Amino acid sequence: METKAAEVSSIQPFRVSVPQAELDDLHERLDRTLWADQLPDSGSDYGVPVDRVQRLLAHWRHGFDWRAFEARINSYPQFTTEIDGQKIHFLHVRSGKADATGLILTHGWPGSIVEYLDVIDPLVAAGYDVVVPSTPGFGFSGPTTERGWDQYRVARAWVELMSRLGYERYGAVGNDGGSIISPEVGRLDPTHVIGVHVTQLFSFPTGDPTELAGLTSEEEAAIEHLNWFWQNMGAFNQLQSQSPQTLAHALADSPAGLLGWNSQLFGDDLDDDFIVANVAVYWFTRTMASSVRFYYEMAKSQERPAGPTVVPVALAAGGRDFQSIRRFAQRDHSNIAAWTVYPEHGHYAAHESPEAIAADIARFYGRLTAPAQHAELAPEAPVGS
């Protein structure tokens, strides 16, 4: 009991407060940007085009209000605690229900806690407690200071965090890297994790030719799209998995460079405020290097879990996002309870369509708990089941 009391007492309130001197320094750096050259009429053939970065940078410098964004984050209760030697920052918003199910929502790269801000209120209104941590090495959790912070170590930290917060039953929700971490939380803690809800299931062919026999036309199209993505947009993964420190020198010194690199996976259909807010979080927390190291840690990890996950898993995929393939997902997850595709959703659905994603999350966990305890959210019509 003394140990658990000490762990709980180690949770400290936190507020975001960037010194004005750092804002002034950022503005000076943005004003002095040295722009890369670009071939005429090359568009995005060679990568993120100069005119796109110029537009985003102009918004960052003259349109984006960091203080207003800072106030928005600070409108939610925030805390820090130390787990496994690492500072962990998290939002913790309670619904007021004594028996509320907790949900831990995990982001990836180049996202941050920003991508989940819009789903907090609808999930709390539906009767859930919401925990949104900054992944170690990202944002307000600060840089990691030692090797080994791969998806498995993060998952172990999340299990400890939810235990420290007192949740006997909770759900793990994820997007992007969070869709890799969250199933591992369920694998580690099946006694307490009632289900896992993700927007991607990263299950791929192993190389065994028999796995590709009898593919449907939809599955063939999904594999073709995956191949296209890695051949045309996979450079970030290769570099960050092999040589993240080489890249980090440029990202740490230039906000324009950070904006250009991180914006490659933020589509043109996302609003500029969202893109800039995510990038600004990296800049002010000095987590440019540690965030890209996460890919190296995953690639070099020697941990190999045995067998599929067993807790219920729900997929709420975006039609404009990476296409998960069910036959491979079923190999890795033995209890897929829901498989829904929303044609209009992109990669950051919790920001683009927060009410729909919150509704999907609430429906899934509502079926796993007592449905009458949770308010109904109006669903959007899904495709698939």
Q: What are phi and psi of 107, to 5 degrees?
A: -95, 180
For residue range 105-119, what is the model confidence (pLDDT) as tens digits?
Answer: 999 999 999 999 999
Plot region of 47 (φ>0 → left; ψ -120 to 50 → alpha; else → beta): left
Mean pLDDT of 243-250: 98
- pLDDT confidence band for 13 (50 / 70 / 90): very high
Calpha distance 141→149 (Å, rounded): 12
What integer is the mean pLDDT of 49-68? 98
68-to-31, 56, 147, 284 alpha-carbon distances in Å: 21, 18, 35, 15
Q: How much is the pLDDT for 362?
A: 98
What letter would DSSP give residue 309?
B
Choose among 171, 211, 204: nearest CA to 322.
Answer: 204
Quick one: fold of 55-204+219-373?
Answer: Rossmann fold (3.40.50)
**Banded pLDDT at 365 (limits 50, 70, 90):** very high
Instruction: Please give the backbone phi and psi of residue 93, each rounded to the nearest 5 degrees, phi first.
Output: -115, 115
Q: Is 176 a residue of the active site?
A: yes
Measured from the Cβ of residue 356, the count of other Cβ atoms closer than 10 Å reads 23
Q: Is the pLDDT of residue 385 over 60?
A: no
From 347, 348, 351, 360, active-site residue:
347
Single out the residue of 238, 14, 256, 53 nearest to residue 139, CA to CA: 14
Is 303 a residue whose pLDDT tops 70?
A: yes
Cβ contact 326:178 at 8 Å: no
Q: What angle do CA 176, 180, 184 make, to 5 degrees?
A: 150
Structure confidence at residue 380 (pLDDT): 41
Q: Quote the CA–CA distance of 207 and 211 in Å, as a whole number.
A: 8
Across 34-43, 191-200, 221-230, least confident range: 221-230
The tokens for 96 are 């007021």
Question: Which pTM does this prediction carry?
Answer: 0.93
The tally of CA atoms less than 13 A away on the side-chain side of residue 104 is 37
pLDDT over 50 (residue 375): no
In the chain, what are the domain boundaries? Answer: 55-204+219-373
Residues 49 and 52: their CA atoms lie apart, in Å, by: 6
Q: Residue 207's pLDDT is what?
A: 84
Q: Is the pLDDT of residue 339 over 70?
A: yes
**Two tokens, residue 242:** 């092999």
The yes-or-no answer on residue 295 being catalytic is yes
Structure tokens at 307: 């067998």
Active-site annotation holder among 295, 296, 342, 348: 295
- Checking if the pLDDT of 141 tops 80, the result is yes
pLDDT at 376: 43
Q: Of the candidates 318, 225, 235, which has an alpha carbon nearest to the alpha carbon of residue 270? A: 318
More confident call, 9 vs 97: 97
Q: Is the pLDDT of residue 343 over 80?
A: yes
Reply yes or no on whether 128 is catalytic: no
Whose CA is closest to 64, among 219, 246, 281? 281
Torsion of CA 6, 145, 295, 322, to 10 degrees: 40
Task: Check residue 3 and give its pLDDT.
Answer: 53
Contact 155, 135 (CB under 8 A): no
> First CA to last CA across the chain, in angstroms?
45
Instruction: With CA atoms as reference, report the closest residue to 109 among 5, 232, 247.
Output: 247
